[in-house]
Amino acid sequence: MGYVAARGGTEAIAAAEELVRRHRLHAAAPWLELEQLTERLRYLTDRVMGEGGLWAPELAARAIRQAEGDVIEAAHLLRAHRSTLPRLCRLRAVDADGLDPLRRIVPAFREVPGPQLLGRTLDYTGRLLDLADEDRARDDAAGAAGARVEPTEFETTLAGEATDRAAEERSARFPQRLLDVLRDHDLVVERRRPDDPEPVDISSFAVRPGIGRSGVLSVMARAETGALVNLWYRNILGPDNHLHEVTLGEVRHGELPVLVTHPHTGGDVRLGVVRATEVEAIEDLNGAEEDRTRFDVGYGLVAGHNERKAIAMANLDIAVHRHGADGALEQSVLMTTDGLDASGFLEHLKLPHYVTFRSMIERKQAMRTDRARQQRTGRHNRGANENGAQR
């Protein structure tokens, strides 16, 4: 692999930067406010936060605006900014059971503990481009919101039922997982470990094969969405064949609390919440060496609302486990799914490679010269031999 440091051209580079800055700040269109990005393009800001590895909606919106909508560039800006921030304190580890769901579905099972809560999803919308008059559509939506009457059923609970109702509400808000039900029926292989090792922090340590499950999961949580989906699809339908079709146990999107320990009281202090998408994927074990009477479960957890990525992650988690920790799939997950890595390498191809390419040309010319000389020498030798034979 050849590289050459780029020298010179400083004025041209500065002019290109100025061109970007000027057109970004003085485009012939209204200025894009951060709120428009965070509230109207929520999937985009969530994706940038997930791939950038920093929960900061306003900064993500700034990055998207600065990158003019280039998602990987925006994630790069956010991750670079994150690297300059000091770590101020250690957060308490939060149990994902404490995720307050905005949406929760269990595709594997109809009768599950807790509700199937569709929530805000595009799953059931017809993929038809809405060409309705936008002003009228907004007016209609505002009118419909004003006319809606919220149910008052829960407000009229009798005093004696209050405790039951509270328990029901809690059960509805924090439902038991399908995985727990399967465990109760002894249908899942045991992959939990008795110890509780510190997870690998991939923002501080270089990622390499053999990093362990926490490292692999962290890499996938920060991976580029398209790369992860592609890797999953390649393994389902492509030549790699590391995955079978799996069934989804839990798909949740909700809010997780951010907790720190109070330095004096030792109690939990809630700093706020982050939204996350969590997925558990159930796989039917069918390998010769596997326990075929049970299932195994893969896990996905990503920042923001990004079900596609969390599902791919859960599927790949289980595939990495089934096909060996040091195998090719783990290497693919670790080394090829990071958007910054991949695009950084790709983008560098645009930098001047004058010296390396020049040397390639010279090598080819030298080979050609050498070949021509050999041919001439060969002809000469053949001619000499032929003459000798005649003599």
Partner 1 sequence: MTLHRTAAGARLQGDRSTAVFRVLLDTLARPGMVQALPPGLFPPGVAPALALPLALADLGTSFCIASDDEAEAAAQRDLVALATDARHTIPYDADIVVLGRPDPEAVGGLRSGSDELPEAAAKLAVQVEDLGSGATVVLDGPGVAAPFAVTVGAPAEFMLALCDRNERPPAGIDTWIVDRRGRVLGLPRTTRITVLDGTGTEVS
Binding site for partner 1 (CB under 8 A): 5, 7, 84, 86-90, 201, 204, 206
Beta carbon of residue 208, minimum distance to partner 1 (angstroms, whole number): 9
Nearer to partner 1, 147 or 206 (CB): 206
How far is it, in rounded angstroms, from Cα 257 to Cα 275? 9
Residue 252 φ then ψ, to 5°: -125, 145
Q: Are 100 and 255 in contact (CB under 8 A)?
A: yes
The DSSP H or E segment spanning 366 is helix 354-390
Nearer to partner 1, 29 or 88 (CB): 88
Beta carbon of residue 86, minimum distance to partner 1 (angstroms, whole number): 4
Nearer to partner 1, 1 or 88 (CB): 88
DSSP state of 117: B
Beta carbon of residue 200, minimum distance to partner 1 (angstroms, whole number): 13
Nearer to partner 1, 89 or 158 (CB): 89
Nearer to partner 1, 200 or 310 (CB): 200
Beta carbon of residue 84, minimum distance to partner 1 (angstroms, whole number): 6
> What's the token pair of residue 283?
């796989």
Closest CA to 340 of 62, 8, 147, 71: 71
Residue 59 φ then ψ, to 5°: -70, -35
Residue that the structure tokens 């428009």 belong to = 36
How far is it, in rounded angstroms, from Cα 99 to Cα 102? 9
Q: How many residues does the chain have?
A: 391
CB-based contacts of 94, cutoff 8 Å, min separation 6: 256, 257, 258, 259
Q: Are 303 and 196 in contact (CB under 8 A)?
A: no
Nearer to partner 1, 89 or 389 (CB): 89
Beta carbon of residue 134, minimum distance to partner 1 (angstroms, whole number): 40
Beta carbon of residue 93, minimum distance to partner 1 (angstroms, whole number): 16
Q: Are 243 and 315 in contact (CB under 8 A)?
A: yes
Nearer to partner 1, 1 or 5 (CB): 5
The DSSP H or E segment spanning 360 is helix 354-390
Beta carbon of residue 53, minimum distance to partner 1 (angstroms, whole number): 15
